[in-house]
Structure 1
Amino acid sequence: MGFAQKSLDEIDLLISKDDNFFTFPNEIYKNKTLWFLKGTDSLFTGRIEFFIDKTRKNKIAECTIIDGVKNGYFKQYYSHDKMLNGITGLYVNNKREGNWIWVEPGEIKNNQKWVNSSAKIVTSIDYFGDVRHGTILTYRTNLMTNNNSANSPFKISDIILKGEFDNDNRTGIWYFNDQLSTDYDRFYESEYSDQLSMHWTRKEVYEGGVKVQSHCREPWERDMECDDYFFKYSDIIYLPPDRDINAYTLASVFDYPIAIIKDAYGKDVEVNIINFMEHIDKFHKSSVSRHKQKGHLFIIDDNFRNKLMNKIVD
């Protein structure tokens, strides 16, 4: 499926969520990747700010623009009411540079995550020239010191993902902690937990962006075949979101990749694989059920769920 190429950024996504947000100054507009003063061909220089309304009491985002180009820190404030993630990062000539931070609701797999979530998921990614290059770290926290804090306290057991990028390719060892442990597990493991460098349930080794080795286990150190692991824990496996938002139209920017699956009659059907899986998890909890979508019938059983999970992890 093709997508219209479009130069999108965090500001475009913010405006697309609610076109009633108030922009200050409001005498500016964006043409492709550049910001201009309205009614002129003059490039804008200054601080652009976004508020919930014209009273300008509740700021939701801000960014520095120099000669029409994003140059400086972009900051979007975490807002439960407006369902806005917290984002902090530096732009240099419209490109992400240095360390970027995202703060999101803690219920990753829950469609109602903004309603049910008290915890936060913090993701830190290093960039060089708009390319992921360096460390990615994701952790869960209940102790946010401020909306977008990069220094919120967390324990080793709170780390969900730790890995490295080399020129936008995954490299080296990536550790995932799918948070399988129960309170019982944590109690008996706590005596030596602080001595561990990383709690993990999945370890993946990459060379040039290609996964060459994987190792899966349950708490604590109970080895498990990765195919069995993905099947057993498909509803809680952590999948890092795609942060690259400049390649697709606004209509598709919030979507995960489209996948081809077969219906009950063997016909190929295009679906948003993540949305489809979340629907199955929420509304088809029985061992066998039927799902109809756009004229297609799907038989939902363990074999079908396993095929869906394989589509996600491929």
Structure 2
Amino acid sequence: MRTVITGGAGFIGSHLCDYLIEKGHEVICIDNLLTGKAENIVHLIGNSQFRFIKHNVSDYMYVDGHVDNVLHFASPASPLDYLEFPIQTLKVGSLGTLNSLGLAKAKKARFLLASTSEVYGDPQVHPQREDYWGHVNPIGPRGVYDEAKRFAEAMTMAYHRYHQVDTRIVRIFNTYGPRMRMKDGRALPNFMHQALKGEHITVFGNGSQTRSFCYVSDLVDGIYRLLVSHEHDPVNIGNPEEITVLQLAKEILAITESKSKIIFHPLPVDDPRIRQPDISKAKKVLCWEPKVSRNDGLHKTLTYFKDALQGLNDNPGDKENKENCVSIH
């Protein structure tokens, strides 16, 4: 199998590169490194099953030879990123999706769109099922991400119905694990970074808003099961175990043994009050459900963050060297 992954140097995309290479795929990773990190894929440079193309998928893209699968994961995905890059976020959700679907159509390849639980907005239905249409503010600051993904879903289904492209849509809920950026605006990596640095833990609102955290290896397994299935409509992939943001902060303080204090900041505009996937469809159609407990996942992530912080302290120029290494290839 020959698989193209846009955004393949990102957190989830890079884990997919590893997973599919282990499955025997030849992987072509396309990423402009706007929010992806070279160090996520540098270990694959020189692997005969891996090829990296530095390119913005919002521009026309060409891939030589046959392609069996196109997985579109390119997009800023954290609040800090899509608030800093609002136009790029809208472009990659629209033009990037159009170009990725066009590649799949031209190559007669299977297409999988990485969508998000953010299509549900600040939901009025709990837990969130795939047949819920959402409650989204299209002109709010988060609308650039929410609506880009909703548009991407609509375009994917249009290509499926009109051009008979073999499509899949995964709605990804909060995911965590190694290769997350430590300060990207999301609660879990921010809390872990702050705890390890001995800084105040910043909780927005009163911390009663809920999230559901899925470990990255569980997510990737679910994505692969969806890819090889025959399901064309959206499927939620996430861990249904719901937790308040304040409870998460306390758990991270406990496992890091940090003396940091929790402080509270005003809630951001349109921040969802609740988030919990209904994974009944994934269980039925994909025979999938998460296996990694939050305790185990947090400890694995903590080990990665400790190593990453140590690496930054020991080799402050290492990131630039890795960027150059990947760019050369």
Ranked by relative contact order (alpha carbons within 8 Å, sequence separation 6 or more), the top structure is 2
> What TM-score, normalized by structure 2, do the two folds share?
0.25
> What TM-score, normalized by structure 1, do the two folds share?
0.26
Who wins on radius of gyration, i.e. which is larger?
1
Q: Which has the higher strand share?
A: 1
Q: Which has the higher helix share?
A: 2
